[in-house]
């Protein structure tokens, strides 16, 4: 009898938690990715220290999220997305200070006029670089290894932002994003992208502009503007898909930081061979990253993969390699001018 009472109470609580009219809303989708790999990293010896080895269990861009869409009629819809990243190896959030640390926004769209979204957004750079990079921004050869991030800018997300997305006009889609500084000297900026996809061809153009603290780039005084331009293209020949990416970052009073990526994806049996070669050029801080990997799907949602790669640093550059970059820094592998090699074996499951 007590069990029946408890069951009735729980059903009542669940019913009260559902908002009135929720049954008329389109379904909410729960989705995500679990990515985990075993990594071996080796840092070459230098004039002041010997070689170092590191073994890690790493998680790369694992996430979960909720998204939904409500049909408003006449070609209009309201929609939302809430997404958070986490580390499978520890269970911790990738950003402990921000629960929805990947994207969180609500938007309204019109098939003829486009969409407007408000919240926290990925930079358009993230989406376009992921489409060009054969590794889709994962693993040892990911484009983000040496061609993105602090200290010069290339923001991953823009908080407090509004984004407009055009309709698809014959394969062309444009995005314009503006973020509010909300009284802070830094944090405000804008980004834009133009994408074209038709048949086997994909091409994109991006620009990001944000103010960064001078201390992070070795300057003094007021925050400075960091502007990044990038173009990307892929073409699928069937027997191989080729990719290219070219970018330049500009900051007043500093020399430009240029970079590029060349990539290829080749079908191999049931899987794919993927490879990238990327280079970053900056005053006394050049870096080159190479990687090759094999990806094998054991189902539509589950992949096994392996990669080998290397990052060569010169001058003051001390870039890490793969998803274990933070651990490499903590273990002392990332020293200026030190090269790092890596091997990665992993599994990826989409849900």
Using the structure block, give the residue that is written with the tokens 């790669």: 309
The whole-angstrom separation of Cα 328 and Cα 304 is: 24
For the domain that residue 58 is a member of, what is the CATH number? 2.40.160.10
First to last CA, the chain: 39
Q: Looking at residue 244, what is its pLDDT?
A: 98
DSSP codes, 197-242 = EETTEEEEEEEEEEEE-GGGGT--SS-EEEEEEEEEEEEE-SS-EE
Q: Looking at residue 152, what is its pLDDT?
A: 76
Q: Looking at residue 25, what is its pLDDT?
A: 54
Kindly state the average pLDDT of the residues 290-305: 97
Q: Looking at residue 11, what is its pLDDT?
A: 41
pLDDT(234) > 90: yes
Min mean pLDDT across 29-33, 79-83, 208-212 is at: 208-212
Q: Looking at residue 14, what is its pLDDT?
A: 40
Tell whether 319 is covered by a domain. Answer: yes
pLDDT(23) > 70: no
Tell whether 18 is covered by a domain. Answer: no
* Residue 113 phi, psi (nearest 5): -105, -20
Calculate the average pLDDT of the chain. 90
Residue 3 — pLDDT band, cuts 50, 70, 90? very low
Residue 66 — pLDDT band, cuts 50, 70, 90? very high
The domain tally of the chain equals 1
- Residue 11, classified by CB atoms within 10 Å of its CB into exposed (0-12), middle (13-18) or buried (19+), is exposed
DSSP codes, 249-270 = EEETTS--EEEEEEEEEEEETT
Tell whether 9 is covered by a domain. Answer: no
Residue 15 — pLDDT band, cuts 50, 70, 90? very low
pLDDT(238) > 90: yes
pLDDT(184) > 90: no
Residues with Cβ within 8 Å of 314's Cβ and at least 6 positions away in sequence, in order, are 285, 286, 287, 337
Using the structure block, give the residue that is written with the tokens 């062309």: 172
Q: Looking at residue 5, what is its pLDDT?
A: 43
Tell whether 17 is covered by a domain. Answer: no
Q: Looking at residue 38, what is its pLDDT?
A: 97
pLDDT (tens digit per residue) in 148-181: 866 676 778 899 999 999 999 999 999 999 999 8
Q: Looking at residue 19, what is its pLDDT?
A: 45
Q: Looking at residue 26, what is its pLDDT?
A: 64
Q: Looking at residue 17, what is its pLDDT?
A: 41
Residue 230 tokens, joined: 């990038």
Q: Looking at residue 206, what is its pLDDT?
A: 95
Q: Give residue 247's domain range.
A: 26-350
**Helices and strands: H and E segment counts in the chain:** 4, 17
Q: What percent of the chain has pLDDT over 90?
A: 77
Tell whether 1 is covered by a domain. Answer: no
The whole-angstrom separation of Cα 262 and Cα 275 is: 8
Q: How many CB atoms lie within 10 A of CB 102?
A: 23
Kindly state the average pLDDT of the residues 221-236: 93
The whole-angstrom separation of Cα 115 and Cα 319 is: 38
The whole-angstrom separation of Cα 285 and Cα 295 is: 32
Q: What percent of the chain has pLDDT over 70?
A: 91
């Amino acid at each position: 009898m007590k069990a029946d009472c408890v069951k009735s109470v729980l059903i009542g609580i669940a019913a009260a938690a559902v908002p009135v009219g929720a049954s008329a809303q389109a379904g909410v989708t729960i989705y995500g990715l679990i990515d985990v790999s075993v990594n071996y990293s080796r840092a070459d010896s230098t004039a002041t220290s010997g070689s170092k080895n590191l073994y890690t269990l790493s998680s790369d861009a694992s996430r979960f999220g909720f998204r939904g869409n409500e049909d408003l009629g006449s070609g209009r819809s309201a929609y939302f997305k809430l997404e958070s990243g986490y580390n499978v190896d520890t269970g911790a959030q990738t950003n402990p200070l921000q629960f929805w640390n990947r994207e969180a926004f609500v938007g309204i769209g019109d098939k003829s006029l486009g969409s407007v979204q408000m919240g926290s957004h990925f930079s358009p750079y993230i989406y376009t670089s992921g489409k060009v990079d054969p590794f889709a921004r994962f693993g040892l050869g990911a484009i983000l290894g040496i061609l993105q991030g602090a200290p010069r800018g290339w923001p991953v997300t823009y908080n407090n932002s509004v984004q407009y997305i055009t309709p698809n006009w014959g394969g062309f889609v444009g995005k314009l994003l503006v973020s509010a500084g909300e009284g802070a000297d830094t944090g405000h900026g804008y980004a834009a992208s133009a994408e074209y996809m038709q048949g086997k061809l994909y091409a994109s153009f991006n620009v990001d502009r944000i103010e960064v603290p001078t201390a992070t780039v070795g300057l003094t005084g007021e925050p400075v503007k960091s502007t990044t331009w990038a173009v990307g293209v892929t073409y699928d020949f069937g027997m191989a898909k080729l990719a290219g990416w070219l970018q330049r970052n500009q900051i007043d009073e500093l020399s430009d930081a240029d970079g590029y990526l060349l990539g290829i994806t080749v079908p191999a049996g049931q899987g794919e061979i993927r490879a990238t070669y990327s280079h970053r050029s900056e005053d006394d801080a050049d870096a080159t990253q190479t990687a090759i990997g094999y990806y094998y799907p054991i189902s539509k949602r589950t992949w096994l993969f392996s990669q080998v790669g290397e990052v060569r640093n010169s001058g003051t550059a001390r870039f890490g390699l793969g998803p274990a970059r933070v651990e490499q820094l903590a273990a002392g592998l990332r020293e200026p001018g030190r090269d790092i090699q890596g091997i990665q074996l992993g599994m990826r499951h989409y849900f």
